[in-house]
Chain A
Amino acid sequence: MSMKNLSLFAIVAVFVAVGALATSSFAQAPIEVHLKNHRFTPSVIKVKANQPSMIMLFNDDDTADEFDSSSLKIEKVVAGHNKGAIRVRALAPGKYPFMGEYHAATAQGMVIAE
């Protein structure tokens, strides 16, 4: 029992250690995007290919929304009248659609890496 518990804690420790070792490095200023009336402005975000970038999403609506994109591998909830820093990994050139999951009818956008 205790052996197994120990090994499980060891696993957690390894994961946490790996996480703690890696540090972030963002050279550029974040790209500001606003969400108002459940629409993104700008809705098309251009980033440089093959290097990470950061989107600062300002949610100007009263309610929360989730910046969601399976192609960008991002799920980020941003509360109403709040902001959220969204790290975009280095992307191969291409188009990466995203949406505000709670208002997907209007909240649509796209990241273009080039």
Chain B
Amino acid sequence: MISALIIVFREVIEAGLIVGIVLAATAGVPHRSRAVSLGVGAGVLGACLVAAFAGELAGLFQGSGQELFNATILLLAVCMLTWHNVWMASHGREMARELKAAGHKVKTGERTLLALSVVVGVAVLREGSEVVLFLYGIAAQGGTSASGMVVGGGLGLLAGAAVSALMYFGLLTIPAGKLFQVTSGLITFLAAGMAAQAVIFLQNGGWLEYFTATVWDTSWLIKEDSITGRLLHTLVGYSEAPNGAQLIAYIATILLIVILMRIVPQGGSSRSTAAPKPHNA
């Protein structure tokens, strides 16, 4: 029962933190709960499909189908997070102003909602498929321990959801003016961590064999499979012994997002401001 609790808790937290950040990043945007629910729903469905076809998926691409699939959905999420951040940087301020001024329905923020529901879907799919496989394994074995494991799994789900909610409400205590900066920062690190993780899957699939040497090792300080390590891994992409390609992907993603957020014209909802200027401030 305890092992079920721990494993479900761990996976739920990993997906839940991402959902919490997305919810905080879209605070005040109309229809965002629908978009997030859509993402969670699609993620759960996808998780069941991935779990059901785990064998078939693994068999693709000379046995590296799973790695390619994981890398692809992670990179998709990275793109969506990047798009959200860049789009919000150019329209977010205006949106917040309009929200405060009139309280009338603001359409702008809904643009990237779909992108964020994709991110939520990917997060739920990845962690969810592990939960499904794990719980299915227990159910298939039956026996006396099965019911206890199901209870443990349920408790793990609740506990994980509670921590994620804590994260969300914690973020909401940040004043509205600062919240945008905080969530942009969190999303940037989230994206960088996912890009680095995607690189690992590409390496494990045999598609990327450059810069595989470990650059540093901090396993003596924080083990990646400790609770702290896992939380940091999810939030900022902590890796106890990153290799060169991982670091390059991580840093490149951060640079890319920061640069795009700066060069994309700010404050205008019109697309006519064609020539990007470095600074408007």
Contacts and interface: CB of A to CB of B under 8 A. Distances in A.
Please determine whether chains A and B interact with each other in the same assembly.
yes
Interface residues of A, number: 42
A66 B208 contact: no
Contacts of A12: 75-76, 79
20 contacts: A5-B83, A8-B83, A19-B71, A23-B209, A24-B209, A63-B141, A64-B136, A70-B240, A73-B200, A73-B239, A73-B241, A77-B58, A77-B66, A77-B133, A78-B58, A82-B55, A87-B204, A87-B206, A92-B214, A102-B134
A12 B260 CA distance: 15
Given A18-B208, A19-B208, A102 B133 contact: yes
Contact of A11 (B200, B224, B256, B271): B256
A101 interface: yes
Interface in B88-111: none
Contacts of A101: 7, 130, 134
Contacts of B140: 62-63
B203 interface: yes
Contacts of B223: 70
B75 A4 contact: no
Interface of B: 3, 7, 51, 54-55, 58-59, 62-64, 66-67, 71, 75-76, 78-79, 82-83, 86-87, 129-130, 133-134, 136-137, 140-141, 198, 200, 202-210, 212-214, 219, 223-225, 229, 239-241, 243, 256, 260, 264, 271
B137 A22 contact: no
Contacts of B87: 4
Given A70-B223, A77-B66, A11 B206 contact: no
A66 B271 contact: no
Interface of A: 1, 4-5, 7-8, 11-12, 15, 18-20, 22-25, 62-66, 70-71, 73-74, 76-80, 82, 84-87, 89-90, 92, 101-105
Contacts of B260: 4, 7
A77 B54 contact: yes
Nearest to A59: B55
Given A20-B207, A71-B241, A84 B264 contact: no
